[in-house]
Structure 1
Amino acid sequence: MTSESPSARRRRRAGRISAWVFGGILIVAVACAAWIGVRGFLAYQHLDSARASADGATAVLADPTKAPALIERVSADTSAARELTDDVIWKIGERLPWVGPQLAAVSTVSSALDDVASHALDPLATVAANFSLDSIRPQNGAIALGPFSEIAPAATTSAEALGTAREAITGIDTAPLLGPVRDAVTEVSDLITEAYTGVDALRRASTLVPAMLGADGARDYLIVFQNNAEWRSLGGNVGAMLQLHTENGAMTITAQASSSDFPTYDEPVVPLAPEEQQIFGTQPARWIQNVGQIPDFTRGAPIAREMWLREQGVEVDGVISLDPVALSYLLEATGPVTLPTGDTLTSENAVDLLLNGVYLRYEQPREQDGFFAAAASAVFDALTSGGGSPADLLAAMARAGSEHRLLLWNSDQAEQAVLDGTTLQGALPETDGDTTSFGVYANDATASKMDYYQSLETSTAWCGADDAQLTVTIRNDAPSDAANLPTYITGGGSHGVPPGEAKTVTYVYLPQGSTLVSSTAAGSRESAGIGSGIDAGRDVLIWTTQLAPGESMTLTTRVSAPRTAEIVTRTTPTIHVIDSSVVAPMCDMPG
């Protein structure tokens, strides 16, 4: 029998040791994987339970006293999920290829949700336990200001914490994530963003509302009503307006006027930049009806303020804009109101009655103005008398704001800054690393109310990595015998437009930093050509259409721009509710 050499024995022993070491490593790896898998499964269960509990948030809106108990339940689950995804083994796993990003994403989501449930919402929950929406219900024309002061610190703290959580979630790189993990991250991101948006709006409101309602001294505001039957960039021409006086929460109407009370000024009441005049002329600063022609309320509102000062002698502290569609939303909250004429104004008939019916009924502008004044007073009385649900009223105002039908400008720069980044400012849309934004703003050139019958539709699409397309369609849906409508509706042939036809000038704002590739118009008539200009650092296309009943035109514009996750279009608010984020399934082939 041959004896084994020492070197062979050493190799065999080394082999056994290597096998044991490899086996040990494998066992540890399997154990770690099992550890992570079990803890991940448990974390998922806790997060799903938190989600289920959060579904009860709707009930909290009706009864804020339920908020602390709800938050406590959610917090217990999110804290457990955070603890399960925050140990040493899990953190080591986050450094591994492929599986690491998945683990890191789950850990980040768990931590962010726990920060929200355990810390961000606590201040608001404490206030909510003793808060009732009835405390801000108007009574005898006044709103109590105390509740806003009580909720302001909590809203600020919660908004800041939610903002931090949102940044953590949006900072996750979703590219290497598996589909289910990526979808979960997107869902949580949307949830936290929605929560942040709501709480941040509460923060802004609790800061701004007391000041605007005269907590620190009397205020005066000019409220203008934009008539969507005669398009302007921000909605419609300014016809009716009123002055609102506020003091210690009390609100009273101290003056009313209409566009017929204002002259055509020989010179602009405020200076207009050369680029503004090149696109809009001097009309926005010479006619009160045209202050909404510039698609930026922060520029148009000061013009309206100056005109009101010249004719009424009052330098108001701010300007608020509404349209009849926004009024219809408010009427959903207040319920119907009765006018001195005997008409009942409701959420269902307000738009048709104010934008068309009044012109069919009354021939004289003064009679029309009187009807508008009566409608404005009646709605104001309904709002300030405390009728309706405060929650419904807040929802109506939020909807109007999201559709750019409610705009607000404050002359005080610090107060105006509170609105930065909100739709209430009515500023031009911004393009950034996340969103590519177009602007489409239509303006009547018929001196008529024919836009009651017109529609404005837009859609966008990405055609490639850096190629975006915008389509704009304007259609005249007036009846075939529209030429027989009252002269005040058709324009009576003024400005060279035959009765029944509608002429429109549309300003198309291209995304900041983009380069125009092509722009073509097609439809019922031959295009009159497309002009151009520059406003606020943005390239602007100027497109003119003239349409008879049943006719339409479509403008197709292509630009070169870095691709972003979202592409949207800000449009003129018309009587039709338009989703500005409509995305076409594909681009048209270049013609």
Structure 2
Amino acid sequence: MIDSPAAPGPAPLARWFAWSVALALVVGLAVATWVGVRGVLAFEHLRAARDAVSIAAVGTDDPSLAIHVLASAGTDTEAARALTSDPVWQLVSALPWVGPQLDAISRTVAAADDAFSRALSPLAGAAENLSPAALAPVGGTVDVRRLATIEPVATSAAAALRRASDDVAAIDRRPLLGAVGAAVDDAAALIGRASDDADALSRATRLLPRMLGADGQRSYLVLFQNNAEWRSLGGVVGAVAQIDTRDGRIALTTQASTADFVDMAGEEVGPLPDEVAAVFGTGPSRFIQNATQVPDFTVGAPIARAMWQRLHGTSVDGVIALDPVTLSYLLRATGPIVLPSGDELTADNAVSLLLDEVYRRYDDPRDQDAFFQSATAAVFEALADGRADAAEVIAAVGRAGAERRLLVWNADAADQAVLDGTPLQGRLTADSAARSTVGVYLNDGTGSKMDVYLRPSVETALCTPDVASVRVELRSDAPDPDSLPAYVTGNGVYGVPPGEALTGVYVYLPPGARVLDRRSTGDTASPVGFSGGTHDGREVVKWSVQLAPGQRAQLDLEFRLPSPSDVDAVMTPTRDPGEVPHTGTCPFPPA
């Protein structure tokens, strides 16, 4: 009889189990070490890339050098990508808890590499055409063809950066640890800014050559807004000018003032949309001064164009609006300019000189207009002649555009479409699923220049996920009216006592929002008035308030949003760049 083999005893089985556990621990430790070391090395490369971005952001005003610095970060992002995409890393990314962390890191690194290595590196090859020397006018002419050569690679880079930005935005933040989530958020913000900058470059290289006459002569009407007398988009239109462009050469051909339009005052050049006329009346289509009263430049610009054609017989290709604050930004690029009057116009004194001092010096509006025209012509000539730092000009235009002080409208629909979604169009802001925007637009009702002494404040707050509020405060810091010229106070011509200021505040709620409550507090020179209407799917509340020197008033509106979202605001740009909307607390008690 043959005996069967004996089964393993307890000791061999225990040893087998111990060795299995030990082997698993060793493998796990090896994998953890592998992933950990590679993760640390990847973060070191990302830190170096981030430092390169910081240098590009603050270390140079030369766009071509900045692009080269940013592109150099591609070496580090490429190395980080290799470290976080090997099979072991991908295997561990499938595990629970630690897997989402590693997956988020590898996806973020891949997006950063797509942004810096694959999007910006090709652009670096054409970057010399973006240097200040390449952009500056030579003999009064901009090399538009050199600028146009950048367009294909700029458009390609913008598309690649947008995809990279969308990739990071799509990463689910919910399972991420604090440090990993913060790193993903930082990368998202960084790539998002690069995407926005590349998008702006792409649009500029598509549109600027055409606007500068690369395809034939172009003509543009320039409206100079006066922030001392508010209109929704900035200020009353004072001086106007026509500039012509051809093959990169810019010429100031004609200047005029609002007095030149007096013979056609009161005649509508075209009907306004019914809902716009119901809110603002027909003044925007009858007076050049009110061309910027409707808070949509695509409404006012064609009206100004039609008025110019009726006055001069010229059908311009577009309309541009800017204000004295924009001129002050441009003066940082040109340096001080001596005017025919002997005044030295500088970045520091332009606003006060053009919005205050000129009215104290000249009683006759024609003399005031002549001074405005000489100032704008002098700045324009300095820019056209190449007597300005090109990098500073780019910075000035970018800042003025972001602050909605510089507005552009093209009669050609294809050209205008290049600006879609940018603040340069001066349109009512578009909302998103995550954010709703309130518009607060200020309009003078005094017929004066007293708004230089008014101090506005706009504050938004989220009361509940779908209920928000906006607070608008106005304060008058006006001096004794006897110390002011009659032209500044309005001299009571429109029924407002000298020294007081009547303001129409138009609050545009987000599309689909509706007012729940409103209240006005403070001290006012006359009873507060309310009216309103609708415009482009937005409820509009008009608050009319009149202030004497030293008085203040406050409007609080509570409204329900069509769906939960954050809320912010835009407002009329004033003479003070620091007067911008901010976030506060809800002034209404909980329901």
TM-score range, shorter chain: over 0.9
Partner of 1:248: 247
C-alpha separation between the residues in 1 aligned to 2:342 and 2:252? 22
Give the alignment of 1:88-127 within 5 angstroms.
Answer: 88-127=87-126
Give the alignment of 1:277-426 within 5 angstroms.
Answer: 277-426=277-426
Partner of 1:230: 229
More divergent stretch after superposition (134-143 vs 520-529):
520-529
Partner of 1:209: 208
C-alpha separation between the residues in 1 aligned to 2:533 and 2:180? 46
Residue 225 of structure 1 and its aligned partner are, at CA, apart by 0.3
Residue 112 of structure 1 and its aligned partner are, at CA, apart by 0.8
C-alpha separation between the residues in 1 aligned to 2:6 and 2:472? 85
Identity, % of aligned positions: 47
**Secondary structure at 1:284 match in 2:** helix
Partner of 2:504: 505
- Give the direction of change, closer, same or farther, for the CA distance of 1:7–1:49 in structure 2 (3 Å limit): same
More divergent stretch after superposition (152-161 vs 306-315):
152-161
C-alpha separation between the residues in 1 aligned to 2:274 and 2:397? 36
- Give the direction of change, closer, same or farther, for the CA distance of 1:462–1:39 in structure 2 (3 Å limit): same
Kindly indicate whether residue 261 of structure 2 is the aligned counterpart of residue 262 of structure 1.
yes
Residue 522 of structure 1 and its aligned partner are, at CA, apart by 1.0
Residue 51 of structure 1 and its aligned partner are, at CA, apart by 1.7
C-alpha separation between the residues in 1 aligned to 2:539 and 2:508? 6
Residue 532 of structure 1 and its aligned partner are, at CA, apart by 2.4
Work out whether residues 47 and 77 of structure 1, in 8 Å CA contact, stay in contact via their aligned partners in 2: yes
Work out whether residues 532 and 540 of structure 2, in 8 Å CA contact, stay in contact via their aligned partners in 1: yes
Work out whether residues 507 and 542 of structure 1, in 8 Å CA contact, stay in contact via their aligned partners in 2: yes
Work out whether residues 229 and 444 of structure 2, in 8 Å CA contact, stay in contact via their aligned partners in 1: yes
Residue 150 of structure 1 and its aligned partner are, at CA, apart by 2.0
Give the alignment of 1:159-198 within 5 angstroms.
Answer: 159-198=158-197
Work out whether residues 331 and 379 of structure 1, in 8 Å CA contact, stay in contact via their aligned partners in 2: yes
Give the alignment of 1:448-459 within 5 angstroms.
Answer: 448-459=448-459
Give the alignment of 1:31-180 within 5 angstroms.
Answer: 31-57=30-56, 58-59=58-59, 61-62=61-62, 64=64, 68=68, 70=69, 73-129=72-128, 132-180=131-179
- Give the direction of change, closer, same or farther, for the CA distance of 1:309–1:256 in structure 2 (3 Å limit): same
Work out whether residues 50 and 78 of structure 1, in 8 Å CA contact, stay in contact via their aligned partners in 2: yes
Specify every segment of 5 or more residues in structure 2 that has no aligned partner in the other structure, as ranges: none
Residue 503 of structure 1 and its aligned partner are, at CA, apart by 0.3
Residue 426 of structure 1 and its aligned partner are, at CA, apart by 0.5
- Give the direction of change, closer, same or farther, for the CA distance of 1:523–1:97 in structure 2 (3 Å limit): farther
Partner of 2:447: 447
Give the alignment of 1:505-524 within 5 angstroms.
Answer: 505-524=504-523
More divergent stretch after superposition (503-512 vs 35-44):
35-44
Residue by residue, what CA displacement relative to the aligned partner does 1:125-173 show, whole Å, maximum 9, x if unpaired? Answer: 1112565321221233321212212211221111111111111111122
Partner of 1:495: 494
C-alpha separation between the residues in 1 aligned to 2:293 and 2:63? 43
Residue 563 of structure 1 and its aligned partner are, at CA, apart by 3.9
Work out whether residues 504 and 545 of structure 1, in 8 Å CA contact, stay in contact via their aligned partners in 2: yes
C-alpha separation between the residues in 1 aligned to 2:64 and 2:536? 44
- Give the direction of change, closer, same or farther, for the CA distance of 1:410–1:73 in structure 2 (3 Å limit): closer
C-alpha separation between the residues in 2 aligned to 1:113 and 1:250? 40
Residue by residue, what CA displacement relative to the aligned partner does 1:62-115 show, whole Å, maximum 9, x if unpaired? Answer: 3836854x4564222211211121123322333333333222221111001111
**Secondary structure at 2:125 match in 1:** helix
Work out whether residues 130 and 147 of structure 2, in 8 Å CA contact, stay in contact via their aligned partners in 1: no
C-alpha separation between the residues in 2 aligned to 1:24 and 1:559? 64
C-alpha separation between the residues in 2 aligned to 1:584 and 1:286? 39
C-alpha separation between the residues in 2 aligned to 1:8 and 1:583? 77
Work out whether residues 60 and 67 of structure 1, in 8 Å CA contact, stay in contact via their aligned partners in 2: no
- Give the direction of change, closer, same or farther, for the CA distance of 1:514–1:416 in structure 2 (3 Å limit): same
Counterpart AA for 1:226: Q
C-alpha separation between the residues in 1 aligned to 2:224 and 2:431? 29
Partner of 1:485: 484
C-alpha separation between the residues in 1 aligned to 2:6 and 2:290? 99
Work out whether residues 504 and 542 of structure 2, in 8 Å CA contact, stay in contact via their aligned partners in 1: yes
Work out whether residues 243 and 256 of structure 1, in 8 Å CA contact, stay in contact via their aligned partners in 2: yes
- Give the direction of change, closer, same or farther, for the CA distance of 1:227–1:65 in structure 2 (3 Å limit): closer
Work out whether residues 155 and 203 of structure 1, in 8 Å CA contact, stay in contact via their aligned partners in 2: yes
Residue 393 of structure 1 and its aligned partner are, at CA, apart by 1.0
C-alpha separation between the residues in 1 aligned to 2:449 and 2:320? 23
- Give the direction of change, closer, same or farther, for the CA distance of 1:550–1:192 in structure 2 (3 Å limit): same
RMSD: 2.4
C-alpha separation between the residues in 1 aligned to 2:105 and 2:417? 36
- Give the direction of change, closer, same or farther, for the CA distance of 1:177–1:558 in structure 2 (3 Å limit): farther
C-alpha separation between the residues in 2 aligned to 1:399 and 1:291? 23
Counterpart AA for 1:327: L
- Give the direction of change, closer, same or farther, for the CA distance of 1:40–1:386 in structure 2 (3 Å limit): same
Residue by residue, what CA displacement relative to the aligned partner does 1:227-277 show, whole Å, maximum 9, x if unpaired? Answer: 100000000010100000111111111111111111354443122122111
Residue by residue, what CA displacement relative to the aligned partner does 1:358-392 show, whole Å, maximum 9, x if unpaired? Answer: 11111111111111111111111111111121101
Partner of 2:435: 435
C-alpha separation between the residues in 2 aligned to 1:477 and 1:370? 28
Counterpart AA for 2:124: A
C-alpha separation between the residues in 1 aligned to 2:95 and 2:312? 72
C-alpha separation between the residues in 2 aligned to 1:532 and 1:19? 81
C-alpha separation between the residues in 2 aligned to 1:386 and 1:78? 39
C-alpha separation between the residues in 2 aligned to 1:126 and 1:337? 37
Work out whether residues 227 and 355 of structure 2, in 8 Å CA contact, stay in contact via their aligned partners in 1: yes
